[in-house]
Structure 1
């Protein structure tokens, strides 16, 4: 297994449970990829460095299969029943609680039309969510995916399928206009699209908000107690119980092939690992077909397609150590919410998306303010807080500044004035926030890619999720599923269906694909050991 992100670890875990000898090779000193945590501001302040909301993993089939084992190795979650809110320049807010009646009541006070729209959209979510989540948990294309579609048709007919398809193909702007009355409620929906790479006017952007708005309402918002790093650590420890190995600081620079088939890997230090059954890579298609494989090992058409794999705009992360909670102008109780979105409105999101795509530092970036220690108080010393801010969307390469005030065009120079812009915006919505900051640490899009090469250009979702690169077109047209163009070589991770998110689905489905292929090839036993050659065994 190349790469120790959560999907790579999950693939390895399912294969080890099936009796395979599995080795996971991770370039970094620790496993986890974009699920990581650390004391990056001050000692005692534990920040989730990249992803923080772990609802998808908590609700995954992998957690259902291995949850008790993971718990034995220290994995636990803290959940808030105040999942998310939006705040606005006039001091108002829109809030979603796990208590549905309370949510509807507050929306009705804001605007009766918003409450009615939210309730009607929620009914559509409840009607169709079982089929959507079933589809997300199935390989695409597959007989399981077809069964989900047939079940939808059987229970809701063509009219229901047409209604759902119409909603899913909407942009987030269209979703808001269809269901909500005020620009505040419309912004609430559109912000969720920006978590991926769906600007307000991108077709198909409504799919993620439809699921996320209501799944987070029903389940609250969960973080890993003590830091996100405990999730991949627990996966690695359960893997070891099943006989699997994890080797860190072991960067793979070549997939080895023989007679047109993948047979092993070579590490940057010269060591090689020979695999009898399969090589699985938790990387993006460009890295696989352009870097890890020799040109003569890849069909020319596949190399050409991999060069066209699209990445979304970049992300900037800001980690704050505070001497107290944020004091939101919209009300002190907002300090209890897992996420607070600071947009403020749909038009601002659209400008931000366009500016970042043009290489410009945006004037009004979206701030996704994660109040981690409000959910998990163990993250900071008593009376103190950690705040996680994901800043969307950002240019991967800076060509200028939309506001015309930042003259720098390299991220190492632009990060300080951009951080000041973010903190100035936060100060407007949470007065006194600057005075509460004890220490701040910023990660640019370049820093994200350096930490995890799958986050190319700081794209936090490891590849665009637009319709041309989603569903049966993920990762590429003619290359859906988890097999690659090289026999014996498989691809897993966010570049494959169902894409980004800590749901572990890609890892689980990749393991299933590998096991099914080996059964079809007639391998009765897959327990033979991998062999290290051509150098000392890594420690």
Structure 2
């Protein structure tokens, strides 16, 4: 039994989901303490000088499509707490010969620029963008439930099937439109085409034309700072530099919330969990990894197509078939010679990221799980393909292989930044099929990480849902506390 001086709740891990859980519980008036293994909070939302002094690089997340769409962040009113810049274009995809497809915030501008494929783009993305809030509700909760907006969910599902199979080219006549969708589909580490990859990409593409893909001023760390400030303001505690290896090392608490990979949660709590649950979560699989490369640059990326300077996010890899081939190669356990590369240049919109006239560039490419390969040269070659002269601007680089990514954050098993393969089956059952997947069967145990529904992304929803479940089941709350600024 907990002692009389026990805490109400302990949260292990201070990523966006852990902090969302902690501040929600603290807002309810509970005593909450967060334990973080690193010296600073944030998980994948840290911003540090990785290359040279004065160059601020985001450790994992850089651009935040979910900042204005997430149900948690909207309740938290993140846009009132953190300064964002929303570029006029959400993402872009260059092709050889100086061509490029650009997903502008303005859907009509995007469709007009696509020419003959403009009507198809309007027909596929337009209805979802107009119902972006419903898309956010449907995709930002567990899929193992009856949707609140069944017609939107049905349209979304049919579109994902249409773009997730070998018939995905049928609506389009040009490489530009095909490539632009493929680039956003490839945010997952799945082979393409796939229904799960299409679903993830369609979600992001919908937000691109609704509220855009904003960039936080000062880096992703500014989001962490806002969340920690709210936690502390409501009586919560944050303890850093503590790597929890056993629950016996923690003080008594009525509730334990794990912002960890489900494997770590199961290991720490195995004495409190039934064997049947341990068997079920043992089948939860991690996906492939990423190799991340950060650059300090003497100037902006010299894109062959200057329209790419309207966005912080660029998808590289060439045509739809080239990107699909690269992702399928990685899914088969091999490195791609011509990889898909996701890059972001936030310093175009936030001058605080680099010294005057200088820039930072954030990039990653997909690699097999557990890869030790340094893919810096492959990334540079792919950028040079669409930005001749890029190499001459490089002042310094910093690389994290897939193994390094796991060392930085153990939730990234094998370098998997999704904390679990985002396959269709593992989005329905994440980590198990349950009407309340955040509530573990042990008394007072909850899973809040991206291993739980709704899965990967900086949205805080896994933590919010875990806290909501704990408030109802362990503390008897019938309504949830307000998360809005005082």
What is the TM-score normalised by the length of structure 1?
0.82
Distance 1:147 1:228, change over 3 A: closer
Equivalent of 1:344, from 308, 311, 318? 318
Q: Partner of 1:41: helix, strand, or coil?
A: coil
Corresponding residue for residue 390 of structure 1: 364
**1:27 partnered with 2:37:** yes
> Which has the higher mean CA deviation after the structures are superposed, 182-191 or 41-50?
182-191
| Residue 480 (structure 1) shift | 5.1
Q: Does 1:209 align with 2:201?
A: yes
Give the secondary structure class of the aligned counterpart of 2:60. Answer: coil
Q: Confirm or deny that 1:353 pairs with 2:317.
A: no
Where does 1:373-384 land on structure 2 (aligned, <5 Å)? 373-384=347-358
The one-character-per-residue Cα deviations of 1:425-463 (angstroms, maximum 9, x if unpaired) are 211210100000011111111111111111111111111
Rounded to whole Å, the distance in 1 between the matches of 2:303 and 2:440 is 50
In 1: Cα distance, 2:383 partner to 2:467 partner: 44
After superposition, the C-alpha distances for 1:335-384 in whole angstroms (9 at most, x for unaligned) are 23211111112222232223223332211111111011012122111111
Separation in 2, partners of 1:444, 1:382? 30
Residue 171 (structure 1) shift = 4.7
Query: Aligned to 1:250, what secondary structure does the other structure show?
Result: coil
Counterpart in the other structure of 1:486: 442
Matched, 1:431 2:431: no
Structure 1 stretches of 4+ moved >6 Å:
none
In structure 2, the CA distance between the partners of 1:253 and 1:479, relative to structure 1 (3 Å rule), is: farther
- Answer yes or no: is the 8 Å Cα contact 1:172–1:193 preserved in 2: no
CA contact (8 A) 1:187 1:346 kept: yes
Q: Which residue of 1 aligns with 2:6?
A: none
1:135 aligns with 2:138: yes
State how far apart, in whole Å, the 2-side matches of 1:68 and 1:441 are.
30
Residue 70 of structure 1, CA deviation: 6.9
8 Å CA contact retained: 1:278, 1:489: yes
Cα deviation 1:89-144 (Å, max 9, x = unaligned)? 22211112123332222111xxx1x1111011133314654433222344555xxx
Q: Secondary structure at the match of 1:486?
A: coil
Q: Report the CA distance between 1:53 and its aligned residue.
A: 1.3
Q: Report the CA distance between 1:420 and its aligned residue.
A: 1.3
Indicate whether 1:307 and 2:282 are aligned: yes
> Is residue 292 of structure 1 aligned with residue 292 of structure 2?
no
Distance 1:69 1:167 in 2: 30
The equivalent residue for 2:5 is none
Q: Is the 8 A contact 1:446 1:457 kept in 2?
A: yes
Aligned counterpart in structure 2 of residue 281 of structure 1, from 258, 267, 275: 258
Deviates more, 1:116-125 or 1:486-495: 116-125
Q: Is the 8 A contact 1:226 1:378 kept in 2?
A: yes
Tell me what 2:426 maps to.
469
When the two structures are aligned, how many residues end up with a matched partner?
468
User: In the TM superposition, what are the counterparts of 1:184-263 in structure 2 within 5 Å?
Assistant: 184-256=176-248
Cα 1:492–1:68, aligned 2, differ >3 Å: closer, same or farther? closer
- Conserved 8 A contact 1:482-1:513: yes
Contact 2:71 2:137 in 1 (8 A): no
Secondary structure of 1:311's aligned partner: coil
More deviation, 193-202/473-482: 473-482
The CA distance in 1 between the partners of 2:96 and 2:78, in whole Å, is: 45
Which digits, 9 at most, give the CA deviation of each residue in 1:316-349, with x for residues without a partner?
A: 11111111111112x2232232111111122222
CA distance in 2, matches of 1:9, 1:83: 27
User: How many Å apart are 1:190 and its aligned residue?
Assistant: 1.6
Deviation at 1:161, TM superposition (A): 6.2
Distance apart, 1:203 and its partner CA: 3.0
Structure 1 residue 25: deviation in Å?
0.4
Residues 185 and 147 from structure 1, CA distance in 2 versus in 1: closer, same or farther, beyond 3 angstroms? closer
Give the aligned partner of residue 501 of structure 1.
Answer: 457
Q: Assess if the C-alpha contact under 8 Å between 1:222 and 1:375 holds in 2.
A: no
Which 5+ residue runs of structure 1 have no aligned equivalent?
257-265, 267-271, 399-410, 523-539
Equivalent position of 1:321 in the other structure = 296
Match of 2:3 in 1: none
Q: Distance in 2 between matches of 1:240 and 1:466?
A: 37
Match of 2:89 in 1: 82
Q: How does 1:71-150 map to 2 (within 5 A)?
A: 71=81, 75-108=82-115, 112=116, 114-126=117-129, 129-138=132-141, 141=144, 146=146, 148=148
Q: How does 1:360-375 map to 2 (within 5 A)?
A: 360-375=334-349
For residues 135 and 68 of structure 2, the distance between their equivalents in structure 1, rounded to whole angstroms, comes to: 18
Query: Residue 489 of structure 1: CA displacement?
Result: 0.6
Contact 2:124 2:159 in 1 (8 A): no
Asked whether the 8 Å contact 1:88–1:184 carries over to 2, the reply is: yes
Tell me how far 1:236 sits from its aligned partner. 1.0
Instruction: Give a deviation string over 1:47-76, Cα, whole Å, max 9, x none.
Output: 1111111231233333333337972xxx32
> How much does 1:514 deviate?
0.6
Contact 2:189–2:288, Cα closer than 8 Å, also in 1: yes
Give yes or no for contact 2:191–2:331 (8 Å, CA) kept in 1.
no
1:70, 1:219 → 2: CA distance?
Answer: 15
